[in-house]
Structure 1
């Protein structure tokens, strides 16, 4: 009976996180210009398909040493719990290309990016995932022996979001900025094309995040209401600070809760709700400040949706914050080491940057990453998919 209940529990989590990919899609659709909206939708859908194949046949085995080359009777033991666990963890893995998609929007070639996504999900992401969540290569055991606790990342502030954001950093750096984005050293603002779609994407992600975090327990007896309330408080902290620091800007306001939720993932099972509120608030301010600074001060680094500050930096902050606010002295449950959190976070950043620059760099050198000037001018919708988002195009 419990096997069936656990299978249903994690299946519901997988479905909720799967729905988050619609959030990624609409957040990007609402941010990019009209001539790139179809491409945004297609990328998220096809990235998920390619990620599934890469993770099913290669990535899951890299992370957990498990493959699916067995008979159906064996695979469906315990109500098929292991199959549904794969589905749940796949939705996390597929978030990596979805994160990258927002950073490289409006000027990336389609098939080279799909190839890069497959390689990232097959090798780079599962390598770090297995290191942290499966104890591969003795990394966690070493941290525990040296510093009294392993690297704690309950729902993936670093494993998923940090790694995705820093891989996106590599892709954005290699692509360069969009044509017309900077003229005479000044930023030419490309306003979001559709604020309602942007808001819809943010809301879908926010709701799905409670499956992302709460159901990371993976079994019914491991579920904790603390995770839910910590996620809620971090979301609110990110929203309110982004509102104030971002001066009522709707783009910042709708990314604020996402920044808070990214940051709370790691320690959501340990921190006090007030600590989570602070962690989320810091993340909301961090996103607004760094996104604004990067857009205005670094002309060649054109991160369209701000995925590096949102996922990369806020994810890193979340990994470190778990070591601060998860401690008993800060009202948390304890069992964490700040030194381990710093080392684990740094390891995630390093692996993501090295893997990202290698994969996107090789693909760039061999077949190219970027649309030609004419294709970028007319937009990815017509250049790649031969259709616009409305009948008038």
Structure 2
């Protein structure tokens, strides 16, 4: 009898482990596919002479990110390496390997975010070097603090405020950090040639609205894997996370539609702003709170991106307002709409959410200033004026996106 019960218990345990591994693998695949969304969003926004570079850059960044995170980043964040035998690595159905894949797709989002901000004038290989250090060192430092309790940061928050910094799916850890790193890179690269004409700032129109829209749709679909599957196990699946993701997306769409006055670029970035902002508190908020959070993010993105066009901050895709600012808003919003008094599940501190968000911004700014500042001094980050005029496609890859003469 006991033997039978042990067999049944072992079978149930094996099924649970297998289910969790499959669940996380599907999530990893969904988030990995989001990188195609990043690519097409950039392809549709940049001028035709830079479309090939946008596609190649996103894919090359992912390859470099994989090595950086495998050999350094995952160890920095979680203290785990993959230098044991294959037998050891395959333990527990290889769950730890799939977890690495899932978290890698998050880490690789950092250079994908940066790519959209520095498009059309960045050299290729220096940016890949920057990718290695941002994914291998800068991002994992903050990731480890928040998601693994490294360096006592969360312990300090708990001791002083009775709550840890809450970021369920990465409003600050991923998007905020990526957006603020991008701002530093944009600063060092400067403005694209032709942005200022006769003393006035001008805009370059998107080259392909259908591609831009395709990128936004891919990101929107993949985001449900980004958020829901951040539970990392079947038992952690939450319909509340899915509903809040949906409501924040809708809020971002409608706010961008209204504030952006029917502009298709704003409308397709609006849902992304809402999705960025809800990641942190998607497991805590009431759906109405998520709707408000997403709507504020959508309006904030349009307002801020519009004003950036009149400054020297040449952020091609608006990644700083979209990911940096809306990500920071998401971290703070979790401390507002996550409160039980506003229909949330509670257990969060507004002060801690503000402090944790500021910490993420600080790590991103200091780390990226060191990386991009050093590379700018040692190798240079920017194409020459002639190379920029000819376009990154012909300059770097010696081919254009079309066969037109």
TM-score range (shorter-chain normalised) is over 0.9
Q: Which residue of 2 aligns with 1:290?
A: 304
Q: Which residue of 1 aligns with 2:53?
A: 39
- Show CA shifts across 1:153-208 (max 9, x none): 00000000000000000000111000001113312220000000000000000000
Using the TM superposition, give the Cα deviation of residue 25 of structure 1 relative to its aligned residue in structure 2, in angstroms: 0.1
Give me the CA root mean square deviation. 0.5
Q: Match for residue 267 of structure 2?
A: 253
Equivalences for 1:53-92 in 2 at 5 Å?
53-92=67-106
Alignment of 1:307-346 (within 5 A): 307-346=319-358
Shift of 1:310: 0.1
Instruction: Give ranges in structure 1 of 5+ residues lacking alignment.
Output: none
How far apart in 1 are the matches of 2:156 and 2:225? 31
The TM-score with structure 2 as length reference comes to 0.96
Aligned to 2:133: 119
How many residues end up aligned between the 2 structures? 391
CA distance in 1, matches of 2:112, 2:367: 17
The 5 A counterparts of 1:162-201 are: 162-201=176-215
Match of 2:8 in 1: none
Alpha-carbon distance in 1 for matches of 2:103, 2:214:
24
1:244 to 2:233 alignment: no
Q: Which whole-Å CA distance do the structure 1 matches of 2:340 and 2:358 have between them?
A: 24
d(CA) in 2 for partners of 1:34 and 1:221?
47
**Larger CA Rg, structure 1 vs 2:** 2
Distance in 2 (CA, whole Å) between partners of 1:362 and 1:217 is 38
**Cα separation, 1, equivalents of 2:187 and 2:197:** 19
- The structural deviation recorded for 1:234 is 0.1
Please give the per-residue CA displacement for 1:312-367, whole angstroms capped at 9, x wherever unaligned: 00000000000000000000000000010000000000000111111000000000
Q: TM-score, normalised by structure 1?
A: 0.99
| Contact 2:203-2:309 at 8 Å conserved across structures | no
The offset of 1:130, in angstroms, is 0.1
Where in structure 1 do 4 or more consecutive aligned residues deviate above 3 Å? none
Contact 2:134 2:368 in 1 (8 A): yes
Q: Are 2:363 and 1:362 equivalent residues in the alignment?
A: no
The residue aligned with 2:364 is 352
